[in-house]
Amino acid sequence: MKKNVLFLAAACTLFSCASPPKTIDLFNGSDLNGWHVDVPAMDTVSTLTSPFVVRDGMLVSLGDPPGHLITDEIYSDYRLEVEYRFAGEPGNCGVLIHASTPRALYGMFPQSIEVQMYHENAGDFWCIVEDITVSDMVERRGPEEEWGITEGKKRRILNLTDGSENSAGEWNTMVIEAFGTSIKVWVNGELVNFGTDATASEGQIAVQAEGSEVEFKTIRLTPISEISE
């Protein structure tokens, strides 16, 4: 028995018997610990309150005033699972990954790549002072001479599918896999976008307040060591 234990210890040293990566609940279900709010209008209007609250165990983006809820930590090489639904009239929201410089676009949006949640458009990419490449780029982004990553440029890259979202009011699951400079997105189990050669490979993660009330039941991150097929 002792020899077997010693052999196993030696084998683990040689072949790295590492434990599985630990999943992190970025939203803990009770408060906004680990996040900070960036709402430009709150800089000058003292009566405004944060559009991000915790209600009935859910993170809620009230949609107004517009801004972002941003993780304190920087992440890379991960799978992010987000369960969300529009609480009322469906509209706009998004998850930003590889976020860095705050208010880099229109004095509002942090430098990042946005994964769109806008109803019936979930999975679109928006380039926010970062860029990414997809297949059928002209068809999905428009004329090449109009591409760009700043104000006035074609920054939207359409997703690959229609009908991946559930009906308004129902829960959706979005999975974002960021590995190196590649990003994959699934909505309700369907691959809806895949990009490569992103100009960022790490950063903070942000949730938007952009006009519509959205409830988040889960925001969960799992480190990964390779990209899924």
pLDDT of residue 21: 72
Asked whether the predicted pLDDT for residue 156 surpasses 50, the reply is yes
Question: What confidence score (pLDDT) does residue 88 get?
Answer: 87
Separation CA 119–CA 167 (nearest Å): 9
pLDDT at 126: 98
What's the confidence (pLDDT) of residue 69? 98
Mean predicted lDDT score pLDDT of the chain: 92
Tokens of 182: 């590649």
- 197 or 21, which is more confident: 197
Q: State mean pLDDT over 171-200.
A: 98
Q: Which fold has domain 21-223?
A: Jelly Rolls (2.60.120)
The pTM is what?
0.90
Residue 135 sits at the vertex; the CA angle it makes with 112 and 101, to the nearest 5 degrees, is: 10
Element (H, E) at 3: helix 2-15
pLDDT tens digits, residue range 129-150? Answer: 999 999 999 999 999 999 999 9
Predicted local distance difference test score (pLDDT) of residue 19: 66
Q: For the chain, what are the domain ranges? A: 21-223
Under the banding of pLDDT at 50, 70 and 90, the label for residue 226 is: confident
